[in-house]
Structure 1
Amino acid sequence: MPRTPLSPAVVVATAASLADAEGYDAVTVSAVARALDVRPASMYAHVRDREALLAGVHRLALGELAERVAAQVAGRSGHDALAGLAAAHRAYAAARPGAWTALQRPASPETAASPEAARVASLLAAVIRGYDVPERATVDAVRLVGATITGFVALTDAQAFAHRPDDVDASWAAAVDALDRALTSWPQEGPAA
């Protein structure tokens, strides 16, 4: 079978697959070269170094997550959009654990300014705009939603809930409902001076 020609996209996709299969920390230029059956030196024509490789995985993950979120929130608002947003994140974390881990790392300045990052941010902001959250509080609301989703997914992945017989899916639904109530009742006045 002929080998797939190397390109930055092929290198990054292979790195993301390696992260999913062996863990985020297993991603190195040498490991990706082995997976592609090429010499490590061949990789440097397509990726500068490990940092750039991991930034590529981060950006790829943002793009994939944006596609899932867009599909889940399209035509929805309020609780339905929030539940779709949360479900997209949770499903992505389960399907692409290494790529999900990349999303939990600090983004390089280039990644933070990328179209992929902007799309994820705009989708999340659109969900928040479906509530009566004051414009000045949008960042706070986005952080609350993001932290809740990410924290729940991380604790589930770490088996932190495994010692309890309670249904994790029921707790997930309760968390989404609690976020909905928080967003629905967001204070309209600013903080007291």
Structure 2
Amino acid sequence: MSPRLGLDLPTIIQKAAELADENGLESVTLASLAQKLGIRSPSLYNHVVGLSGLKEKLALYGLKNLHNKLLRAAAGRSGDDAVFAIGRAYITFAREHPGLYEATLPAQHSEDAELLKVSEELIQLIIQVMHHAYEMKQEDTIHLVRGFRSLMHGFASLERSGGFGLPVNLDESIQVVLQAYLSGIREQFRS
């Protein structure tokens, strides 16, 4: 069967991302996506290998978008300024694209070469920013990148689930948390 005229993989993935952001990742099914596209579900099989294939493509799309957002945020910055910028960009991405962000999370467990490559590029970007900011051993940088990612993901996840009910500005909270984190880095690794 030939693909429907005007229907292509980028359009399918964009609509799947919209569906995920509007209603959560669990709402993305072949049936719901087909309905959003105004087609029948079997037409999607011309472009993706079932729901798992769709979610892999969605994860790839999400990781590329997150990587590009962090890359733009870090451009022309260094030190604490670069770390703050990628931290804010990470949180902003998770806020603006909650379903798409959720789709990126299982990417580390994929066997898809392109997905693993983009995931690695994202991690390497954060490693590079941290390493240049604080000039430490590679192993220490990896520890700190894990901490940074944990802070950002934890904050984004708690915010999305409504876990921050106290009347304090969330943007100020992330600023304070990052400042404390970076102060700890400078204290730990000062020359």
Normalised by the size of structure 2, how large is the TM-score? Answer: 0.88
Name the CA distance, whole Å, in 2 between partners of 1:126 and 1:170: 26
Name the counterpart of 1:87: 88
Aligned 8 A contact 1:72 1:81 in 2: yes
* Cα shift readout 1:143-165 (whole Å, capped 9, x = no counterpart): 10000011011112222121x22
Name the counterpart of 2:130: 128
Aligned partner of residue 6 in structure 1, secondary structure: coil
Larger helix share, 1 or 2: 2
2:43 partner letter: S
Q: Does 1:37 align with 2:48?
A: no
1:138 partner letter: T
**1:78-157 equivalence runs, <5 A:** 78-107=79-108, 108-110=110-112, 112-114=115-117, 116-129=118-131, 130-157=133-160
How far has the Cα of 1:106 moved from its partner? Answer: 4.5
Name the CA distance, whole Å, in 2 between partners of 1:186 and 1:103: 32
Aligned 8 A contact 2:59 2:115 in 1: no
Name the CA distance, whole Å, in 2 between partners of 1:57 and 1:173: 30
Name the counterpart of 2:164: 161
Name the CA distance, whole Å, in 2 between partners of 1:35 and 1:161: 33
How far has the Cα of 1:87 moved from its partner? Answer: 0.8
* Cα shift readout 1:37-75 (whole Å, capped 9, x = no counterpart): 111111101000111111111110111111111111111
Aligned partner of residue 71 in structure 2, secondary structure: helix
Aligned partner of residue 153 in structure 2, secondary structure: helix
Q: Does 1:171 align with 2:173?
A: yes
**1:11-30 equivalence runs, <5 A:** 11-30=12-31
Count of matched residue pairs: 184
Aligned 8 A contact 1:78 1:180 in 2: no
Are residues 142 and 112 of structure 1, via their aligned partners in 2, closer, same or farther at CA, if it must alter by over 3 Å? farther
RMSD: 1.8
Unaligned ranges ≥5, structure 1: 189-193
Unaligned ranges ≥5, structure 2: none
Name the CA distance, whole Å, in 2 between partners of 1:87 and 1:121: 16
Give the fraction of aligned pairs with identical amino acids, expressed as a percent: 26
* Cα shift readout 1:88-120 (whole Å, capped 9, x = no counterpart): 111111111110111233541215423x22331
Name the CA distance, whole Å, in 2 between partners of 1:127 and 1:4: 44
Name the CA distance, whole Å, in 1 between partners of 2:83 and 2:5: 40
